[in-house]
Amino acid sequence: GNAGYARQAWENKRAIQNLCRDLLVHRKLPSPAWPDHIVEFFLAELALCDSNNFVSNVGVGEREARVWSELVKRRNMRFAHGIGRSGTLLDIQPKAFGSSLLQTLTNDLTLDALRLAGYSKRSTASATVFPMAAGMTIAMVIRAVAQGRKEARFVVWARVDQKSAFKAIQVAGYTPLIVPLVPHPSHPSQLVLSLPHLRAILATHDPSTIACVLTTTSCFAPRAPDDLPAVARICADLDIPHVVNNVYGVASPRCAGLISEACHVGRVDAFVQSGDTNFLVPVGGAVVAGPRRDVVEQVAGMYAGRAGVGQVVDLFATLVGLGREGWVGVLEERKALFTHLHTSLSTFASAQNSRVLSTPHNDISIALSLSPLSSSSPSSSSSSSSPSPSPPLAYLGSLLFTRHVSGARVVFPGGASTVAGHEFKGWMSHIDEYAEGAYLTAATALGGTRRDVDGFVERLERCWREFGKKGGMETEREKKGVG
Amino acid sequence: GNAGYARQAWENKRAIQNLCRDLLVHRKLPSPAWPDHIVEFFLAELALCDSNNFVSNVGVGEREARVWSELVKRRNMRFAHGIGRSGTLLDIQPKAFGSSLLQTLTNDLTLDALRLAGYSKRSTASATVFPMAAGMTIAMVIRAVAQGRKEARFVVWARVDQKSAFKAIQVAGYTPLIVPLVPHPSHPSQLVLSLPHLRAILATHDPSTIACVLTTTSCFAPRAPDDLPAVARICADLDIPHVVNNVYGVASPRCAGLISEACHVGRVDAFVQSGDTNFLVPVGGAVVAGPRRDVVEQVAGMYAGRAGVGQVVDLFATLVGLGREGWVGVLEERKALFTHLHTSLSTFASAQNSRVLSTPHNDISIALSLSPLSSSSPSSSSSSSSPSPSPPLAYLGSLLFTRHVSGARVVFPGGASTVAGHEFKGWMSHIDEYAEGAYLTAATALGGTRRDVDGFVERLERCWREFGKKGGMETEREKKGVG
Amino acid sequence: GNAGYARQAWENKRAIQNLCRDLLVHRKLPSPAWPDHIVEFFLAELALCDSNNFVSNVGVGEREARVWSELVKRRNMRFAHGIGRSGTLLDIQPKAFGSSLLQTLTNDLTLDALRLAGYSKRSTASATVFPMAAGMTIAMVIRAVAQGRKEARFVVWARVDQKSAFKAIQVAGYTPLIVPLVPHPSHPSQLVLSLPHLRAILATHDPSTIACVLTTTSCFAPRAPDDLPAVARICADLDIPHVVNNVYGVASPRCAGLISEACHVGRVDAFVQSGDTNFLVPVGGAVVAGPRRDVVEQVAGMYAGRAGVGQVVDLFATLVGLGREGWVGVLEERKALFTHLHTSLSTFASAQNSRVLSTPHNDISIALSLSPLSSSSPSSSSSSSSPSPSPPLAYLGSLLFTRHVSGARVVFPGGASTVAGHEFKGWMSHIDEYAEGAYLTAATALGGTRRDVDGFVERLERCWREFGKKGGMETEREKKGVG
Amino acid sequence: GNAGYARQAWENKRAIQNLCRDLLVHRKLPSPAWPDHIVEFFLAELALCDSNNFVSNVGVGEREARVWSELVKRRNMRFAHGIGRSGTLLDIQPKAFGSSLLQTLTNDLTLDALRLAGYSKRSTASATVFPMAAGMTIAMVIRAVAQGRKEARFVVWARVDQKSAFKAIQVAGYTPLIVPLVPHPSHPSQLVLSLPHLRAILATHDPSTIACVLTTTSCFAPRAPDDLPAVARICADLDIPHVVNNVYGVASPRCAGLISEACHVGRVDAFVQSGDTNFLVPVGGAVVAGPRRDVVEQVAGMYAGRAGVGQVVDLFATLVGLGREGWVGVLEERKALFTHLHTSLSTFASAQNSRVLSTPHNDISIALSLSPLSSSSPSSSSSSSSPSPSPPLAYLGSLLFTRHVSGARVVFPGGASTVAGHEFKGWMSHIDEYAEGAYLTAATALGGTRRDVDGFVERLERCWREFGKKGGMETEREKKGVG
């Protein structure tokens, strides 16, 4: 009868409320994953805890989260007051109890996700979502760890050709001391941090003048992750803060292993990763994690103002929507995809008389030598005086771009770029002159599919052939559109 | 017949496409305003221009905007690649042409909104939305304007008791030189920047050591906006950058007037306002505007990484949803509401034997003297040795809070707070010792309603009465919940 | 402290839960109206009571509400099981307790809305939302009231030139007996049901052969609502069911008054109105109401299958979103708009040497004589043999259509149409030959605005002028598009 | 450069516009399937073709699709004018060109889906979505096919114990002539239409008095689909319309085969299926299809009024979201699931000393004998005089229901039900007395999963055991809740 139906309905509501309570208590990725309607219900319940959704609230402050557009309210899931207080992002915002709960919960879910990805417990005492790009967040971390170091003027940094990280040092207000890369002793195609250079720099500067050492894990081949344990030991010895740029390294077992080990054997203050490349959310946020809760809290305490709730909502919905099995699943898929990419490119390379550069310590990105193309390139052969691979290789990039391949990069010697006032020779190859010449990089990030890899290799083959035919001479069409 | 119906349908689609094109061409708030369905259609069309929505894209980069959750995709309106490049926020992001267009368009609409709010053309050469709190954004602006000033160590700042602005100086890496406030000569209840002190500080420091002067417009009574034209003249003379914290001042004709005049007579590098308090969007973003396009661009060039698109979407949807008339309308309503609040509080004050403090240069916030309560407060009268208003006044704040009044602040002498390592006496009153004693502030921000003001005054009356009865003795219930 | 913030958040959640409970208990339009986020929260809570949203459900039936598309789930607010059982729409559906609750609640809110619109308590014992067009619903009502009348073959119907109602008789399986209209004795421009004719028909047919009398309230001028009290008395006398087609009459005080009085003095079995024209929801549903609960239930019991939940969700969200004051407000606005339309058209008419036809008993629709155009129409004047207004008047309709005026109708003598096998002379004018000749109708429905009325009159003026110039000769452009 | 990015963005927009155009031209399920953002974009573009979304429209009709609630607008995808005209559902609605296009497109996609499911081209000349339950739609089809048959009073119907179909005959206004079922000659557990009885009925009634024969395909075991080809031949011979109730039969190869063959060898006027059980959309709509376009059009022409757009939107979004491969995929999965259910239940049955009843012609539903429970049931054994299975078996249904198993039905002899005035003995078993005694049915419908089947069998096992222990004695808890 109706009473029975009502009871069953009520049981289900209670079951869902229990799911919500369990999440708030256990603070781990749920298993099984939550369907969207439970995610939305949970968010709606939290939003009712924010004062902008109170029925009887009257506001006479300057900041009352008065959102005019219904469309905007809706896409913000009725959250409007932001997160944190002017004191620290981690404070409960009195006007936004729901948003505040959501943030701390999401921080803990992120911590769980990191541990499931292989980060040791010691390396993950705490994690916090930041509403800024990873580069901006690194700048904040640098400022936070350097807070007590009144004499600090420098940040020691192993070169990696990615603008954001380098700009972060400038934003933080420090001068970079750049440690160059060198070929790996056993794998000469692979570029690694030069520890002797690092030691030399530290020997010639008073440790008190150094804000921190900034190392990098995730990077493009032929660069490999920095030797974090070695650096961590040095930092521990010299009492210098150590910040790790792990910008897209979460899914990489190698990055996880290096960070975990470094936290065990030496000093790591915090490691920073972007939201989008690691957690399948839109661009915009970052996560700071590390072995010391106080450091993460110090960073949170530096943010001047309240944070928008967007990054937290996105990360929350994604993590509970994936659930424990889903998250582990996408990590596994990426690993398998890397193997698939490596195999596919190797097969392609041998067919083209080229080769995949040997970079065994990079399990994210792969570099394919473009030497065969460099020598056959018409324009380079015509300039007989220059035996080196020539700029028209950029045309291969154009061809890939116009065939809707994104993310592949053609790198050739001779490039240079000025970033934040510093000129980098051989820009994009992480070293002034790379012995292997021109190459192409491809990577496997979380969420990539076999369709991506197979489509890429197939289109690469067509472009390679077309490049062989036309060489560096741009067609009419290319010139107009892309040139 | 059917052909006629089809033609009419087609005409309407063309009419809407024309609206979209007009907006992209004229880049001003539309008139009439756009209904939500056109806003959504326009955003959907732009989203189709981002590579994550391409049908034939294959991605092998580390950052391909792969969003897992459909819920997350939807609430981000299918934008995922963020805005800008690692070089600068203002660059077109190759993978996100639509997002990039949206940003530059929104920047221009914001510029138009500022001009409609009374900002002179000269003061608004450029405006850019930033994906960070106003405090963080001020920090970035400080760093940007100080970029060439290698000797700079200080930021000169007229005290305002709001944590974010002060923290911004720290985040930027500078040491504050604090200019105290003084009673206004003709309106002694009103606190203003002491120009003699400012001049004295500048006389004793080499200009090259000063990163910038940071002034404030919008603030709580009894503080008044700083005398921007005077400061701007000084900054021009000494060639010192001048940054204005206009955090919730956009809707204030006084703030608009001061900024416009200052840009005319002296040096203003940029002024910063938060998104939520000025443009009726959720907390999270800020707008940098100013008389020099190069300064705004320099700030945009400092952001290390790509920005999330959320703040831009929110601001865009709100501005076109309001349209020209809607925007002017909410500005007018706020002005009228300020008058209404002033009248209501004055009436209340005279009934309670109190008074509204005279702060004629603040057209946002109003202070009501709490002297009657301070003297009658049982606990303060019991502590016979101290005739001054005593801490139990905090109980009035409690009473208002539990009656769902938000944003009203009870300020009483003797408070102190340490922000970013500096101790402020008389915290919240902007001065070490405020002669008028305890007071209560209320403000009228954009989007406030008569229901807010009337509800506030009514509940204040009840709380005032209850306070009078029970005095500082907290009831059982209050103690448990809030104490 | 945090406990205080938590308590306040919790208080608000309880306040909103109380709002929801109050609605379920009182079952009247809420005051104040509900903002969207409470509407959505309430619907989300109900949806959790349906088995398709149960976390632990396993289904092995043929009908388990398995919705594939997330987009479809979302737009159906997670309801999927429909409403009612195969027995009757009003039964609780065991798999959809939430949907079932929503339906009965919405029925009661609709009842309240009818009463606020002036329907007497006696006339509104019950109301039910149906998931079909008003015409289809009338067919169902006819079948329901005729259920025990084994000999019934006819439906007596006062002519109204609207296809759906007439088709309803056919769908129900009966033969119409058409009562013609006659000029009103005191207002000869106005057409009314001929009571003598009605009596004559009923005198010549055995009452047991008559399924019901179907009268009409809302209609286009120059027709007026039927004299319901008179018909109701006759039906009571002869024990014949009486169904009222009140298709867009809810907002008309005249229709409300006639139905209320008829229910008092005679027999009315049920009256039917469409959802969209009366309650500002999309087209698709209808409401059956009436003085006898058993009749409404009988209709609900005839629906073969479960009903979709869409119409119920739309009506619910609209009624609680409007609230009591909002609903009364839109009713009042429509009344004022009718006056405005009448005044505007009268002014226009006198300027054009035309006149508004006198139809004082129709407070929805107005007819404007087109006599001035008929005589001046070039093509009609050229066809000297035909002194009557000629078809080219249709061109005026074309002109209005292409100027985006919708809903205005040009009616001229001589038209004819065959509906469900019956030929109607003078189609659209409700009478074979209308003495006043050609006219144009316009109406004011719920949700119309002064912009509509003013825009209509302005464009009418332009079209009138253009018609005067070009007469019935279609321009090239018109011919191609509309002809 | 930027021009290149712009071109690529524009290329993608054109690619998506081409997808849309292709769909409008080819009118077949797309391959590959459309992601949600393209579905939404397409719907948004169509909605702009409806007059309620015109920017310059002014309305003075009684029906202008004025929707008050933004929430309602949004969930209706901005469609509001409904579909069709009062003449026929298939007419273009002048005020809703977009909705009209959507309907005809969806009708054609449905046709394609039917053909992919195995319906022959001949059997699928036309298909139309109806905004009513399948039962109501059957009633309309009966009325439509009987339109010219003035003498018609009866509908000949092979018994199937499902209320909607039987009520449909009543709604249509006809008297049912019920053809009983008989055991299948070779599979005596299986019940089938008695062709001799059917012939006898037709022999004793003038064909002109028969509106149509209504056969059934999809049904619960132990009933099997009617022998459609045989009936179709008879109907062709006698010139009697033949309507098929295929309510949840689309995914069944057997139903598809019977209908296809029947259309080839004899007369089928139309076959009707519900939307939700066949196309994974929410409850509320139905599809009429058949070998003759004129019949489908006649049905569409009978609908009195405009149809709501909801069912069309849901069906459209689902079909293009699935795409050709997705649709074929879910059909295949269901077939595999049926095999899995059959195997699982057979295994379970042999372990419990029971058996699956042999119903080889039903590929949707399976019946499991409950004989072991009937004999062991304490209450039945206690009533020593009655050796037959006794009502307390209902308790097994209760147990399953409270364990969140939905859709399983316990059927036992002796039940009776009165539907639309007719008493059915042995209700639910399709026959007055079923020789096999009590049984339980389970089915596999589209969208079901192995989790459903496995969860069902597992819970059944537990309930079976519990039933064995407690027998028919309800526990306290059950009595209160469900009894």
What does the pLDDT look like over D116-158, one tens digit per residue?
A: 999 999 999 999 999 999 999 999 999 999 999 999 999 999 9
Q: Is the distance from CB of B370 to CB of B412 less than 8 angstroms? A: yes
pLDDT > 70: what percent of chain C?
Answer: 93
> From CA B285, how far away is CA A483, in angstroms rounded?
36
Nearest-Cα distance to chain A for D105, in Å, is 30
What is the pLDDT averaged over residues B121-140?
Answer: 97
Q: Considering only CB atoms, which chain C residues are within 8 Å of B402?
A: 4, 8
pLDDT averaged over every residue in chain B? 92
Nearest-Cα distance to chain C for A421, in Å, is 47
Beta bridge partners of C419: C422
The nearest alpha carbon in chain D to A477 belongs to: D4
Tell me, yes or no, if A221 comes closer than 8 A to chain B by beta carbon: no
Residue A481 reports pLDDT greater than 60? no
Q: A412 or C213: which carries more pLDDT confidence?
A: C213
Token pair 């299926």 in the structure block, residue: D273
Tell me, yes or no, if C383 comes closer than 8 A to chain D by beta carbon: no
Q: Of C374, C58, C449, C279, nearest to D408 (Cα)? A: C58
* pLDDT score, position A139: 97
Task: Count CB atoms within 10 A of the CB of residue D358.
Answer: 16
Q: Is the distance from CB of C222 to CB of C392 less than 8 angstroms? A: no
* pLDDT score, position C376: 52
Q: Considering only CB atoms, which chain D residues are within 8 Å of A8?
A: 401-402, 404
What does the pLDDT look like over D272-302, one tens digit per residue?
A: 999 999 999 999 999 999 999 999 999 999 9
Q: Which residues of chain C have pLDDT under 70?
A: 1, 375-391, 470-483
* pLDDT score, position D4: 86
What does the pLDDT look like over B30-42, one tens digit per residue?
A: 999 999 999 999 9
Tell me, yes or no, if B37 comes closer than 8 A to chain C by beta carbon: no
Pairing of strands D191-193, D181-183: antiparallel
Least confidently predicted of A121-130, B163-172, B472-481:
B472-481
> From CA D81, how far away is CA D314, in angstroms rounded?
16
Token pair 């005398």 in the structure block, residue: B227
* pLDDT score, position B471: 55
- Three-class DSSP category at C214: strand
The nearest alpha carbon in chain D to A478 belongs to: D4
Structure token digits, residue D371: 């004989």
Nearest-Cα distance to chain B for D313, in Å, is 17
Amino acid at B283: V
What does the pLDDT look like over B436-459, one tens digit per residue?
A: 999 999 999 999 999 999 999 999
The nearest alpha carbon in chain C to B478 belongs to: C4
Structure token digits, residue B108: 């221009």
Task: Count CB atoms within 10 A of the CB of residue B2.
Answer: 12
Least confidently predicted of A306-315, B367-376, D252-261:
B367-376
Q: Of D90, D111, D107, D102, nearest to D291 (Cα)? A: D111
* pLDDT score, position D377: 47
The beta-carbon neighbor of C7 closest among B8, B70, B481 is B481
Nearest-Cα distance to chain A for B154, in Å, is 13
Residue D474 reports pLDDT greater than 50? no
Chains near C (3 or more Cβ pairs under 8 Å):
A, B, D
> From CA B97, how far away is CA B363, in angstroms rounded?
42
* pLDDT score, position B55: 86
> From CA C126, how far away is CA C109, in angstroms rounded?
11
* A474 Cβ neighbours under 8 A, 6+ residues apart: A395, A398, A483
The nearest alpha carbon in chain B to A320 belongs to: B69
Beta bridge partners of D130: D286
Tell me, yes or no, if D17 comes closer than 8 A to chain A by beta carbon: no
Tell me, yes or no, if B477 comes closer than 8 A to chain C by beta carbon: no
* pLDDT score, position C207: 97
What does the pLDDT look like over D376-387, one tens digit per residue?
A: 544 443 344 444
What does the pLDDT look like over B11-27, one tens digit per residue?
A: 888 999 999 999 999 99
Residue B474 reports pLDDT greater than 80? no
Residue positions counted in chain A: 483
Q: Is the distance from CB of B396 to CB of B472 less than 8 angstroms? A: no
Token pair 């972007």 in the structure block, residue: A274
Q: Is the distance from CB of B372 to CB of B353 less than 8 angstroms? A: yes
* pLDDT score, position C472: 47
The DSSP-derived string for B316-332 is HHHHHHHHHHHHHHHHH
Residue B349 reports pLDDT greater than 80? yes
Q: Of B133, B70, B67, B125, nearest to B96 (Cα)? A: B67
Task: Count CB atoms within 10 A of the CB of residue A156.
Answer: 25
Q: Do D136 and C282 touch (CB under 8 A)?
A: no
Q: Is the distance from CB of B374 to CB of B390 less than 8 angstroms? A: yes
Confidence band, pLDDT 50/70/90 cuts, at residue A476: very low
> From CA C158, how far away is CA A38, in angstroms rounded?
54
Q: Do C1 and B404 touch (CB under 8 A)?
A: no
Nearest-Cα distance to chain B for C2, in Å, is 8
* pLDDT score, position C198: 98
* pLDDT score, position B375: 65
Q: Is the dihedral of CA B78, B81, B82, B84 positive or negative?
A: negative
pLDDT > 90: what percent of chain D?
Answer: 85
* pLDDT score, position D249: 97
Q: Is the distance from CB of B283 to CB of A82 less than 8 angstroms? A: yes
What does the pLDDT look like over B61-100, one tens digit per residue?
A: 999 999 999 999 999 999 999 999 888 999 999 999 999 9
Nearest-Cα distance to chain D for B387, in Å, is 58
Q: Which long-range contacts (CB under 8 A, 24 or more apart) does B380-389 make?
A: B380/B472, B388/B413, B388/B414, B388/B437, B389/B413, B389/B437, B389/B438
Mutate which of D8, D69, D325 to disrupt the A interface (most A C-beta within 10 Å)?
D8
Strands (DSSP E) contained in B167-269 are 175-179, 181-183, 191-193, 210-216, 242-245
- Provide the chain A residues 398-417 that lie in CB contact (below 8 A) with chain B: 404-409
pLDDT averaged over every residue in chain D? 92
> From CA B137, how far away is CA B274, in angstroms rounded?
9
Tell me, yes or no, if C67 comes closer than 8 A to chain A by beta carbon: no
> From CA C118, how far away is CA C254, in angstroms rounded?
9
H-helix or E-strand spanning residue C141: helix C134-145
Vertex D459 angle, CA D456 and D465, to 5°: 135
What is the pLDDT averaged over residues B222-229?
Answer: 98
* B398 Cβ neighbours under 8 A, 6+ residues apart: B474, B478, B482, B483
* C150 Cβ neighbours under 8 A, 6+ residues apart: none
Nearest-Cα distance to chain A for D103, in Å, is 28
> From CA C326, how far away is CA C33, in angstroms rounded?
7
What does the pLDDT look like over A243-260, one tens digit per residue?
A: 999 999 999 999 999 999
Phi, psi dihedrals of residue B290, rounded to the nearest 5°? 170, 175
Q: Do B284 and A309 touch (CB under 8 A)?
A: yes
Phi, psi dihedrals of residue C96, rounded to the nearest 5°? -145, 65
Q: Do A64 and B407 touch (CB under 8 A)?
A: yes
Exposure string for B293-313, b = 16+ CB within 10 A, e = fewer: eebbbbbbbbbbbbbbbbbbb
Q: Do B13 and D45 touch (CB under 8 A)?
A: yes
The beta-carbon neighbor of D308 closest among C70, C285, C302 is C285
* pLDDT score, position B441: 98
* pLDDT score, position C437: 94
